[in-house]
Chains A and B, each alone.
Chain A
């Protein structure tokens, strides 16, 4: 294990920035989000919940996928993916354990057959440096989903205390990054990290949502859960604004659309939301006509459908963003408490 004193973090960022783009939580206009690092940027590593999750590094909110040139009756398809070849490698820095788990959740979707090349190319050229949490918030419940906030995975894991950032490489990519910044690192930190981990774990135990019961969310209960009458009441206040889906680090839904420009047609994809009424609209009808059905879809997907599709892994990671951001104070915690199992009261 290595460490670097907090005063030298700027040198660390600058060093990384020499060879790679650096995406890191940065405070702008009072809000913290992942952004490109540069001298003078206000880095805020400690912020637990960036407004948008780092998923946009691999699955951007909007992304051009291809172009078409049309000439009379003819069409030419232009592959725009060459842009990736020219793109600098990236280091994504400061990813919290829940958000890292969320990337693994999205990996199963986008790297599964057939591989999504857009996602894969971004993913492959990015080195992920995670940061262990030391001050979890009340809305955090990652423990429920077996996330260890004190030992996130990733290419490099880091821990931060009052004086130092501690550094441990986990993968080949991580070793390469370590070699690059070696001159700034010094050995040490095992005891400090262990102490911090023990303290944080004790705090996590006491968080209000740390012991939610998920036991009823199994594929066998799919239909029983789907037919619960509680969905009506739980979803009544939902505005269908889609905020919960856009801030969620594991929401995968996207739309594919065309945009006419002077130089031809651009086909792009953008995040979409199952909370919207036209999400499933077809020429001859709509399979989800009520907000209750859409609300149910979102939470059933996280807690039942996704686990059933991918070996039992839940697609909620307990980041708590939807808990903080829903204007109507609806969220997955309420759903779990209502339907998750008898140990929820």
Chain B
């Protein structure tokens, strides 16, 4: 029987981490205990609970992790609610990887990299950041700006604080929207913070987060002198098949599942404004 991408593999949840009040990170392996499939940073997978539905998620773990895959999942509807109630040992189904990855082996190589994330937008970026950390000497300076509503809404804060922030050559800037007890870091929205930081416009930038954050941050970067052709982002549209056939996720003549979700800002400029 020929292979069929729409038929998923069975995965087992081996770890559940509560990151924020509405985001949990799930570690998944195959029933044989091995990683389900290989991927590249920025690619996604369709995760499903049979009988409930299928959803697309970024594979947040780095491809350099040979043991398992991770998904950071925000609770916001039928499927994600059921997944949030799951415990270690529960099986789910997974298919993928889908989509184009960040050009980590091409355009990013040897460049200074700026990563800007808002909220759950860290999920796709975490994969790239950890990939870059793994091949650290292939890349230049790394600057990370990450913001969330409150300190409790910062996804993966433990890994950020214990690993990323302690590494030489990586600058991490965190911010939250409003002052909060127990937070002595920066307060304010990501776009404003990015402008304040006076970042080097020669860096290659990657933006992930809510559309409104992307819009204002991009404007800020352009003011600082960044070039659009060196700014990347990801799009999120409703998806079903993941392979450009169900006709659901197009923006103009591009299918986000297949031609994205990673886009260069200059590519987005050429597409109609419908995302």
Contacts and interface: CB of A to CB of B under 8 A. Distances in A.
A77 B238 contact: no
A324 to B, nearest CB: 23
B245 A109 contact: yes
A131 to B, nearest CB: 29
Most buried by B among A114, A251, A255, A260: A114
A309 interface: yes
B1 A79 contact: yes
A116 B51 CA distance: 22
A343 interface: no
B274 A255 contact: no
B7 A66 contact: yes
A280 B248 contact: yes
A262 interface: no
A253 interface: yes
B21 interface: no
Nearest to B251: A287
Contact of B252 (A109, A116, A305): A305
A283 B52 contact: no
A117 B247 contact: no
B250 interface: yes
Would you call the interface of chain B mostly helix, strand, loop, or mixed? Answer: loop
Contacts of A254: 240-241, 245-247
B253 A223 contact: no
A58 interface: no
Interface in A105-162: 109-110, 112, 114-118, 120
A70 interface: yes
B198 interface: no
A81 B247 CA distance: 23
A117 B1 contact: yes
B272 A255 contact: no
Given A77-B10, A109-B245, A114-B5, A282 B236 contact: yes
A283 B51 CA distance: 19
Contact of A305 (B50, B52, B246, B253): B253
A70 B49 CA distance: 10
Interface in A73-126: 73-77, 79, 81-82, 109-110, 112, 114-118, 120
Interface in B209-259: 210, 236-238, 240-241, 243-248, 250-253
B92 interface: yes
Given A75-B93, A81-B1, A258 B253 contact: no
Interface string B1-35: 11111111110000000000000000000000000
Interface of B: 1-10, 50-54, 76-77, 80, 89-93, 210, 236-238, 240-241, 243-248, 250-253, 270, 272, 274-275
* 4 pairs of A and B residues whose beta carbons are closest in the complex: A68-B50, A253-B247, A308-B253, A283-B76
